Amino acid sequence: MRDAELLTEGIEAQKQLYQKLRNRIAEAIRARSLLPMWFVTVLGPVAPTRKTEDWLEAATSLLAYRITYDITNQVLALGGEPDDDDPGRDQWRQELTEALRHW
């Protein structure tokens, strides 16, 4: 039973983090803040007028990935190739790579 509770707590924490990240990205766009080079390179300087929700989802997931794996590269959005052998990270990176191709 405790495993289920931990899983539920983890899912809720992820939802909260993603909502905070989405809000922060939206605020930066509204304020016309200067966005980092790694962000602009893959997502552009502003949200598109079409598929804005998809764009925001990709931006949020990218920011969550950078935070999760402590990516500090100022040019490459996903950083360099990971040194560790983490299947979850590899899958997330592949999903992001595919999602970012659309922008």
Summarised one tens digit per residue, pLDDT across range 52-88 is 999 999 999 999 999 999 999 999 999 998 888 899 9
Residue range 16-38, pLDDT digits in tens: 999 999 999 999 999 999 999 99
Give the pLDDT score at 44: 93
The C-alpha atoms of residue 35 and residue 45 are separated, in whole angstroms, by 7
Provide mean pLDDT across the span 84-98.
93
Among left, alpha and beta (phi > 0; psi -120 to 50; other), residue 86 is beta
> CA end-to-end span of the chain, whole Å?
42
Give the pLDDT score at 26: 93
pLDDT of 6 > 90? The answer is no
Give the pLDDT score at 7: 86
> How many CB atoms are located within 10 Å of the residue 60 CB?
20
The C-alpha atoms of residue 17 and residue 83 are separated, in whole angstroms, by 25
Q: What is the mean pLDDT of the chain?
A: 93
pLDDT of 1 > 80? The answer is no
